[in-house]
Amino acid sequence: MKPLLSVNNLSVTYKGDSLALQELSFSMNKGEIIGIVGESGSGKSTLIRALLGLLPEGGRFTGGEISFQEKMLLRDSRLDWAGVRGKRIAMVFQDSGSYLNPIRSIGSQYIEAIRTHFTVSRKAAQTMAVNMLSDMGLHDPERIMRAYPSQLSGGMKQRTAIAMAVTMEPELLLADEPTSALDVTTQNEVMNRLSVLRSRQGTGMIIVTHNIAVAAHMADRIGVMWGGTLVEMEDTFRIISDPRHEYTRKLLSAVPELEGNVHGS
């Protein structure tokens, strides 16, 4: 099977030549969910922004390769990368609701996004949006389509933003702390909806989180980042039951209830 994504010796540097990522390598298959865990500053968010070519100001690629469906992204022009971003690779941010335009209704933004990527009528786009909002567990999706972002709770905005991303049927979904701003009940619902998306559409996912319990709940494999390096990446059960790196053991020791949440248990 050809990998969905391959990252080889990827290095990213910020101003002052400080290394944010150091020769990082891994690959993943279609439909696989990978959890990337680590403390703040470990390089987790830099990694997924790098995969979209969206490094913050001062960040630059200093080595390595990114291959998506055998397309070498770092060798292609920005125009080629833009053709992948949004449709084939989608991103969900920690506070995705803040990226919604506050002076436009949810429906107008959602329909525009759909019609940017699909050749469909406004009516068909409306139906697609309503169905996906419903799939994300949002009640009365027609009302949400008429609402403005300020009229929705934080959890509703986050689920709406996730719905908008997955409606594009991406082959790869990148999620940066997608549930950290949500209450526990909503966190579980969003994670379950993302798992259903993988089952139904075969979407691969990279979920970045500081909470290894969240990763264990969803991921097939877990990668542990520390100081801009990937110190280990293994099957979730192996990481939980037999961590090899001292830093991984430290993360696990902070979550004593983890055993009941392990993916696949």
Average pLDDT over residues 261-265: 50
CB proximity list for 253: less than 8 A, separation 6 or greater: none
Position 34 scores a pLDDT of 96
Considering only residues 179 and 2, tell me which one the structure prediction assigns the higher pLDDT: 2
The answer, yes or no, to whether residue 111 has pLDDT greater than 90, is: yes
The answer, yes or no, to whether residue 9 has pLDDT greater than 60, is: yes
pLDDT tens-digit map of 168-211: 888 999 998 887 767 777 777 778 878 887 888 788 999 998 88
Q: How many CB atoms lie within 10 A of CB 109?
A: 19
